[in-house]
Amino acid sequence: MGIFSSLSNVLKSAQTGTGSSSVGIDIGASSIKVVEIEDRDGVLTLLTYGEVQLGPYAGKPIGSVSQLTPQQEQAALVDVLRESAVKSRNAVFAMPLSASFISIADVQADPDDDLSAMVRIEARKLIPTSLSEVTLDWAELENNSKDKNERTVLIAAIQNSAIGRFKTLQQFAGFNNAPTEIECFSTNRAIGKKSNLITIDFGAASTKMYLSHAGVLNRMYRFNLGGADITKKLATELSVEFEEAEQIKLETHDGDKYDISKRLYEKQYHHTLREFKQVFDDYRNDGDMTFDKILICGGASLFPELEKQVADVFKLEVEHVNPFDSVAYPAFMEDTMDIVGAGFVPSIGSALRPFG
């Protein structure tokens, strides 16, 4: 059993936990987000949630991408847990996709063959580092190929250095033996087991696209361009500080400043979205699949014009993900959940893991 506590189970969201409450912790590029949920007589209920910006811990502005020292990261995690009044010691950590390598491989093998040795051979071809530097896991996917002797596997590897970092962080915060999973699996769980889904996560440091079939993640792609890059450019054009530019980007909905933000968004994501569209078309055509809509999430997705930009490229309906729809919470919080939900997808997805 690797860092994923059996990747096959993670893919199918079939883990069963022992506690009645669970905390999902998403260590992002610009913030740490936490969500605590509880099973109350069969109803998953939101207990608390919170977010802490990482920038100030590194002497940077709010909203900026920040690489913290272990001590700074520990302090940030403790602060958000305390301020959110988290009680449970049953936690699941969502690890950044950037700390991992994930790929799909087609292996020539009979239906009854043991794939373990074959997967390691494929992994050596695909993973751009020594296998001694990573923790390797894999799971077999549904094979859509006409070749009955071809089997499709998802190969995932996490840097051992990242695993060590997370173990230290967990121990410092009092979460001993907390499972860790790559954020794409947390996101997929939060979205739910719908038929064919395309999800695009617009984060602060990167943009990721996930393709899933029948609730199982099949493909994922990442570009190292994110919302923080837009904020930097906006700050330069408006001759303002980064933090003010971030506020303008999120809160200004008309006028000249909004038009500048719109132009920067279009330029920033032009190439990325077209690359994603090509990958999506190939995937859809190879599997002869139909897709009704695209789901978008991540903090940068809250800019109103981005939804239209995605729709124009993919020629599909676009819908924001609100992961809080999967849990119960007071009715007066609905408007808030609609606003903040897009940024809490991995954290609530990881919190849901113990409940299957």
* Tens digit of each residue's pLDDT (9 = 90 or more) over 29-84: 999 999 999 999 999 999 999 999 999 999 999 999 999 999 999 999 999 999 99
| Whether 313 and 335 share a structural domain | no
Say whether pLDDT at 344 is over 60.
Answer: yes
Say whether pLDDT at 108 is over 60.
Answer: yes
The domain spanning residue 353 has which CATH number? 3.30.420.40
pLDDT at position 194 is: 67
**Range(s) of the domain holding residue 251:** 193-321
| Whether 343 and 271 share a structural domain | no
| Whether 203 and 308 share a structural domain | yes
User: In the predicted model, what is the mean pLDDT of residues 265-270?
Assistant: 96
| Whether 77 and 202 share a structural domain | no
| Whether 49 and 110 share a structural domain | yes
| Whether 82 and 120 share a structural domain | yes
pLDDT at position 116 is: 87
Q: Compute the C-alpha angle 119/122/123, nearest 5°.
A: 85
| Whether 291 and 332 share a structural domain | no
Q: What percent of the chain has pLDDT over 70?
A: 92
| Band of residue 4 on the pLDDT scale cut at 50, 70, 90 | very low
Average pLDDT, rounded, for the chain: 89
pLDDT at position 147 is: 66
pLDDT at position 193 is: 66
| Whether 58 and 161 share a structural domain | yes
User: In the predicted model, what is the mean pLDDT of residues 206-225?
Assistant: 89
| Whether 255 and 199 share a structural domain | yes
| Whether 122 and 231 share a structural domain | no
Say whether pLDDT at 25 is over 70.
Answer: yes
| Whether 65 and 132 share a structural domain | yes
- Total number of domains in the chain: 2
pLDDT at position 88 is: 94
| Whether 317 and 337 share a structural domain | no
